[in-house]
Amino acid sequence: MRLVIKMLRSAEEDFRACNYPKFDGNPGDDQCQVRAICLLYLTCYERESLLEEFSLSNKKVSLSFSFLMQAYLSEIFREPYTVESTGRTWTRGNPGRIDRVEPGFKKLSGASRKILEYNQTELSALSAELLQKITKEEVFPRKIRTELKDKTYSATRTFTSLFHTTRAALRMLCQMRSTVCVQEIVPKTTERVPREFFFQAPESLESIWPLISPPTGPFMVIQVVMQGELEGIIEYFKVNSLARYFLHQVATSCPPYDKGSTIEDIPDVAAQAEVRSYQIRDQPPLFDLDHYFIDFTGRQRRGIAT
């Protein structure tokens, strides 16, 4: 119980301080866009009610609060296991990292360890449910049996169609008229400051996303590995939709669910055809998508606004 209370207090402090990267519960499973848009929605529309839930005055916990706490726990468990030369980092969940909350806290009961180990199972299901609740879109959830890298346990994870969750997230950004920060990933060994581009979401998904100055409040960060030159990227998005570029890259470069899945695994013929329609669009190699998360204006940042 002491560990639970300490984690709740820590999560409340980070949420109040708008330290939203602490809720970036993504251990490299291609579901980060789901968690990012859910968290952005909660920070914009449910922040006060969630802060009230931290008091534990109500015995019934909301879907939003359950998602928030599982995401916080998942971020605690995240650990890097591969770093590419580009700076892109691959992560996975490790329940053994619970000592980040309580140093030296290694001995857990069987029931407590099961709760911790099934964090990703719960988070994936909560993410899919919350996404469909706030976007009202079909994202074609699919349950997949998965294992941790060390084979300590297996569980049934809920994955959603990567293309359709990305589209739902982008549409929600347009509905909220939110800001998107496209942030360059650079190797930690370099002294060069990563570039950042801030875009204003338009009313329509296919419209031009204009470049703007850094915003006030929370915004979505999309980390990318840059391939094009700075001037070329800026000029391209003056006349082309940022959302269309993202959807094309997801459709052409990523499996729809877990590794090894194909378009045919999407249980809807029309949805399959929609993904294929984006595969035939030709676009220049400007950057590769990597990771989505939420940040807040005023936090110390490595990047610069362009």
**46-78, pLDDT tens digit by residue?**
999 999 999 876 668 899 999 999 999 899 888
pLDDT for 108 equals 58
Instruction: Report whether pLDDT(38) > 70.
Output: yes
Amino acid at 12: E
Query: Residue 153: its pLDDT value, please?
Result: 55
Confidence (pLDDT) at 304: 36
Residue 67 burial (CB count, 10 A) = 25
CA distances from 32 to 2, 154, 163, 182, 295 (A): 30, 21, 12, 15, 14
Give the residue, 48 or 79, on which the prediction is more confident.
Answer: 48
Q: What is the pLDDT of residue 245?
A: 94
Q: Among the listed ranges 89-93, 253-257, 269-273, which one has the minimum average pLDDT value?
A: 89-93
Lowest model confidence (mean pLDDT) among 41-50, 125-134, 191-200, 248-257: 191-200
| Residue 109 near residue 103, CB atoms below 8 Å | no
The more confident residue out of 3 and 78 is 78
The pLDDT score that the predictor gives to residue 82 is 85
In which order are the strands placed within the sheet that holds 304-305? 287-296, 218-226, 179-184, 195-200, 304-305
Is residue 301 over pLDDT 60? no
Distance (Å, whole) CA 36 – CA 293: 5
Give the tens place of pLDDT for each residue, 227-252.
878 888 989 999 999 999 999 999 99
State the pLDDT confidence band at 303, using cuts at 50, 70 and 90: very low
pLDDT attached to residue 277: 94
Q: Are 75 and 36 in contact (CB under 8 A)?
A: no
* pLDDT recorded at residue 198: 94
State which amino acid sits at residue 104: G
Tokens of 35: 């968690």
pLDDT at residue number 300: 44
Report how far apart, in Å, the C-alpha atoms of 281 and of each of 109, 229, 247, 261, 306 are. Answer: 53, 21, 10, 22, 28
Question: For tokens 């402090």, what's the residue?
Answer: 13
**pLDDT at residue 147 tops 90:** no
pLDDT at position 306: 33
Q: What is the mean pLDDT of residues 40-50?
A: 96
Tell me what pLDDT residue 305 has: 37
With cut-offs at 50, 70 and 90, classify the pLDDT of residue 152: low
- pLDDT tens across 207-228, in order? 999 999 988 899 999 999 998 7
Query: So what's the pLDDT on residue 136?
Result: 93
Kindly provide the b/e burial profile for residues 214-225, where b requires at least 16 CB atoms within 10 angstroms of the residue's own CB: ebeebbbbbbbe
pLDDT band at 302 (very low <50, low <70, confident <90, very high): very low
Residue 21: left if φ>0, alpha if ψ -120 to 50, beta else—which one? alpha
How far are the Cα atoms of 53, 182, 191, 292 from residue 306, in angstroms, in the given order? Answer: 39, 10, 18, 19
Residue 170 or residue 2, greater confidence: 170
Mean pLDDT of the chain: 86
Percent of the chain surpassing pLDDT 90: 52
Full DSSP string of 249-300: HHHHHS-SSSTT--GGGSS-HHHHHHHHHHHT------EEEEEEEEEETTS-
